[in-house]
Amino acid sequence: MLRLCYSEFDFKGAVVRFETTRKRIQEDRRLRMYGREIERVASFKFLVVIVSAVRTPMGSFKGSFSTVPATKLGSIAIKGAVEKAGIPVEEVKEVYMGNVLQAGEGQAPTRQALLGAGLPLSTPATTINKVCASGMKSIMMAAQSLMCGHQDVMVAGGMESMSQVPYVMAREAPPYGGVKMEDLIVKDGLTDVYNKFHMGSCAENTAKNSSISREEQDAFAINSYSRSKAAWESGVLAKEVVPVSISQKGKPDIVVKEDEEYKKVDFSKVPKLRAVFQKENGTVTAANASTLNDGAAALVLMTADAAKRLNVTPLAKIVAFADAAVAPIDFPIAPAFAVPKVLKAASVKKEDIAMWEINEAFSVVVLANIKMLDIDPDKVNINGGAVSLGHPIGMSGARIVGHMVHNLKSGQYGLAGICNGGGGASSILIQKY
């Protein structure tokens, strides 16, 4: 009887069941440990606040800042932001700056900018290139570092000198008849590399697909110029700007205190301008597109704990941010895909947003995103935007965040979105204290 039971016992099956149970117990243990680790890391999510936000004026292409490198403009913005924050320079643990057209600037542009601003030699620096979204992405990446507790005080922003971008030629023996020069503004900043045409052609595609007319774009551009003019005349924009002094040989320094571009419009010519990127039935013109410009912006971000330690009063807090991507040709509408991610992450409704900043790469960009997001145009770019003020591409994303910081009222939400070449967009939500 005993032999029968012994012979009928399924040793192989028992071993398999034992191994299965053992592995399940081990997996459960690993999952519990992983869960505890997630809880531990989640507890490191520090509240991130903005304690200062400044920018330089924006110079016209080959205008007042034509002799000023992007790194110098960046230094002025960083120095101004740290001074406005009222903190010792030694408190800044790291700096991120957006910069797109870097050819000829020298190594590590952000490092040059922070040292020029008087920050310590021990301060690390990173330069961010996400095309037009570079300045905003720098803020987002700095916020991530602060949220994780990796740093507690940082500077983030963006800088660009489109006036100083060089022409280049291929490193090869020149053919008979001369060499071919390429403009790096166009090649590295304004060309869709996937479709081999200018970003303006992408804007034309969006205008067609969104049924946005030339007249609508012209009207938007005129409104942008009018809003910018009113904002400068009322002092709204002056509060976010630090002056730039430009040395002249044998002459007094020139001090630039305001943007140059918004003064250069002739409204009577706007409807008469030719379309630039599409000859037949084109809608995008020099007037309803943004311009080439120079400038820099910087913000000081820190954890709420650091603000308390340094006795600094926060201006706003960072609530949520997100990126999105679409087909490269559709880059103008990419913000409409990033914004819902931000609203969902923050559990905030679009109706709760008091102020919207959508970067005016082209007038059609803002018009298309207003339509897709179904938002109130009276809350969008209330003081004008890149069409009238200028679009130094590495700076703009930081500029519009800083603008919200200064113009929201206590408790209000502000949401900024910016498209970028390649089909991308970044978006960020802040709340004013």
Cβ neighbours for 401, distance < 8 A, ≥ 6 positions apart: 53, 135, 136, 139, 299, 357, 416, 428, 430
Catalytic site residue 406? no
Whole-angstrom Cα distance, residue 211 to residue 262? 28
Considering the candidates 132, 198, 403, 406, report the single residue annotated as catalytic.
132
| Selection from 422, 221, 207, 209 nearest residue 334 by Cα | 422
Whole-angstrom Cα distance, residue 292 to residue 58? 10
Hey, which residues does 431 pair with through a beta bridge? 317, 413
Hey, which residues does 98 pair with through a beta bridge? 128, 158
Catalytic site residue 132? yes
**Angle formed by the axes of helices 363-373 and 199-209, nearest 10°:** 40
Considering the candidates 5, 148, 202, 391, report the single residue annotated as catalytic.
391
CB 229 within 8 A of CB 259: no
Return the H-helix or E-strand segment holding 16: helix 11-42
Beta strands in 208-270 (DSSP E): 244-248, 251-256
End-to-end alpha-carbon separation of the chain, Å?
84
Tokens 């004008």 sit on residue: 384
Ramachandran angles phi, psi of 178, nearest 5°: 115, -175
Return the H-helix or E-strand segment holding 344: helix 335-346
Which of helix, strand or coil describes residue 320? strand
The half-sphere exposure of 233 on its side-chain side, counting CA atoms within 13 A, is 9
Whole-angstrom Cα distance, residue 265 to residue 228? 12
| Selection from 386, 64, 416 nearest residue 199 by Cα | 386
Cβ neighbours for 319, distance < 8 A, ≥ 6 positions apart: 346, 348, 413, 429, 430, 431
Q: List the catalytic residues.
A: 132, 391, 419
